[in-house]
A and B are shown apart, each in its own frame.
Chain A
Amino acid sequence: MNAIELDHVTLARDGRTVLSRIDATVGAGEFVAVLGSNGSGKTTLLHAILGLIAPREGEIRVLGGPPKSAATAIGYLPQKRAAIADLPLRGWDFVASAVKGERWGWPAVGAQDRADVAAALKLVEATALADRAISRLSGGELQRLLLAKALLGRPKLLLLDEPLISLDPRFQFGAVALVRRVQKELGLTVLFTAHDLNPLLDSVDRVLYLGGGGAALGTVDEVVTGPVLSRLCDTPIEVLRIHGGIVVVAAHGELDHEAHRHDAHDA
């Protein structure tokens, strides 16, 4: 069974088409990087897979069924998380609040739930963060708690929306490696959105590149090339490979999102 099947899917936001008739199939156990510049529709695609927005046309199948039916088997790390860093709560409560958080009643955590939280924390090496206040954590530590939260409820599919965005370049590689290890350990399918491919180069199985309302899915060598990206984005794009890293440069002196972010792999 495939993890995700997109069949001629068109997604719109506020009546504006964001992605148009895209086809893609992600197999179970794959680690796929979802790339594309700001506004290319990465978050929109994840929302559609979660069943938060319905496609205008086409069909989305997640874990063999419609998105809503798979909701409990999806772990999600949202992109917007600005307010979280100031919370006067310890790591444990932060993670535990997501355990069956959609149910009514008092947020009591039973023995089984407690074991689940502990297991998720252990998996991401965040056990020591359980008793520390969120507001005192570093970006990388907070990231691990967010990942632990996404892993609650034994998901089969992980949707991670720009988990690298608030991390220093030198922590980005570690964060990706952690996700990769957990993915292998649990046999998860991972969709990992990012601006910059470089921290992901060693870990991804394939990339899904979004641009110009379309999508290209394949291995890095198949997709991240001048001709493919130029056709996708309908503008001349060059792909340079330097020191084992990749720089994507758009024409007319305009740098694409990745060109000024490659400092990470130079180091």
Chain B
Amino acid sequence: MLDYDFMRTAFAAGTIVAVVCGAVGYFLVLRNLAFAGHALSHVGFAGATGAVLIDIAPLWGLLAFTLAAGVAMGVLGERLRGRDIAVGIVLSLSLGLGVLFLHFYTSHATQTVALLFGNVLGVSSANVWNLLGLAVVCLIALAVISRPLLFATIDPELAEAKGVSLRTISVLFLMVVGLAVAEATQVVGILLVFALMVGPAATAQRLSSHFRAALILSAALAVAETWLGIALAYETDWPPSFWITALSCLAYGLSYFASMPRAARAEAE
């Protein structure tokens, strides 16, 4: 299957995106922010479709919106807690706007499906270079903030006492998440970002409590699920996004079972 250009491109794009999502997702899950990733991708939809409308690649519109939303979420921070309804209304407005923008764009059916559910087999080779560039920026940014990020995540009070600005860390991290979400949508689409950003990270954290090992495992799982998903899509002709989400879910389910204490497992059997 690697004889085909589009398959080679799909594996390249999938690998880049999976590494980013697995690494960023680890911190996202550790910070209990899983749904922030979901929310950012929804906001990105309006950006992506708006970009199509003014003849820019959807990736850039999406990126602009996820980054802006990341900054807003970071700045508002605690004030967003318990504001589920306000947040939900903004998210649905964004999806609604996206639908409106698509309405003005003539050939929108395939575009929409690709945006919402991803189509890794349709990634152009030019786009792979964009993804790679974004991935490098994203991973460097993550590496630079990772030390105070880990400190602030584990013990915010102590970190603050030692001079870490929790607000700054939160804004910077959510910008990194915005970048990662924009990448993830290229593979699994806006609605399925959870599968790459949260699934592997949550699985890794169930399997290992060792910081570095779990972080690497998270990225490795994301890559494995993506590769296997693309391969299965090739064999079955089913959408890769389905396979990736299914594998992500399966891995999480298995980890749940594996990390159960032995006694509880015996009981379950």
Contacts and interface: CB of A to CB of B under 8 A. Distances in A.
Interface string B94-132: 000000000000000000000000000000000000000
Contact-size category for A: 20 to 34
Contact of A103 (B143, B148, B161, B210): B148
Contacts of A97: 150-151, 154-155, 211
Interface string A98-114: 10111111110000000
Nearest to B142: A106
Interface in B183-218: 205-206, 209-211, 214
Nearest to A96: B211
B209 A90 contact: yes
Contact of A105 (B144, B205, B206): B144
A103 B147 contact: yes
B158 interface: yes
B263 to A, nearest CB: 14
Given A52-B160, A90-B209, A102-B163, A83 B151 contact: no
A134 interface: yes
A219 to B, nearest CB: 30
Contacts of A135: 209
B145 A90 contact: no
Nearest to B149: A107
A138 B161 CA distance: 26
Contacts, number: 88
Interface in B150-198: 150-152, 154-155, 157-164
Contacts of B143: 105-106
Interface residues of B, number: 27
Contacts of A98: 151, 154-155, 158, 162
Classify the interface of chain A: helix, strand, loop or mixed: loop
A44 B114 CA distance: 54
A84 B209 CA distance: 14
A149 B158 contact: yes
A107 B155 CA distance: 15
A74 B161 CA distance: 10
Nearest to A43: B157
B144 A104 contact: yes
Contacts of A100: 147
Interface string A143-184: 000000100000000000000000000000000000000000
Nearest to B32: A83
Contacts of A149: 155, 158
- 7 closest pairs, A vs B, by CB? A101-B151, A78-B157, A133-B209, A88-B205, A93-B211, A90-B209, A107-B147
29 contacts: A50-B161, A52-B160, A52-B161, A76-B161, A78-B155, A81-B157, A84-B155, A88-B206, A89-B154, A90-B209, A90-B210, A90-B211, A93-B210, A94-B154, A97-B150, A97-B154, A97-B211, A100-B147, A101-B152, A102-B162, A104-B145, A104-B148, A105-B146, A105-B147, A107-B150, A107-B211, A132-B209, A135-B209, A149-B158
